Amino acid sequence: MSTKPYSELPLSETPLSMEERVRWIGVLDPLLKYAGSPGDWGYGSKLGVMTQHLYRLRAEIMSQSEQQEETAS
């Protein structure tokens, strides 16, 4: 178990493959559609905080995807 704060943890121990990124986005998008805005649940609530983390996680997955595409070009 890591002693680092959540914000300092890597996305994964190895880079995600294109298939893994597509699958994660495919799962996160419907969940985020349901979750809506963190404020819908209350920013200080567990659901509000989870929603914020999920949006950041999705952005990080997309960022990794863009970085790998740039490297491949």
Q: Does 8 fall in a domain?
A: no
Q: Does 49 fall in a domain?
A: yes
Q: Does 26 fall in a domain?
A: yes
At residue 55 the predicted structure's pLDDT band, cuts being 50, 70 and 90, is very high
How many folded domains does the chain comprise?
A: 1
Range of the domain at 28: 18-72
Q: Which of 1-5, 29-33, 34-38, 64-68 has the lowest mean pLDDT?
A: 64-68
Q: Is the pTM of this model over 0.85?
A: no
Q: Does 3 fall in a domain?
A: no
* Residue pair 54/30 in contact by the 8 Å Cβ criterion: no
Q: What is the pLDDT of residue 73?
A: 62
Give the pLDDT confidence of 2-21 residue by residue, as tens digits.
Answer: 689 988 999 999 999 999 99
Q: Does 6 fall in a domain?
A: no
> For residues 29 and 23, what is the distance between their CA atoms, to the nearest angstrom?
10
Q: Does 9 fall in a domain?
A: no
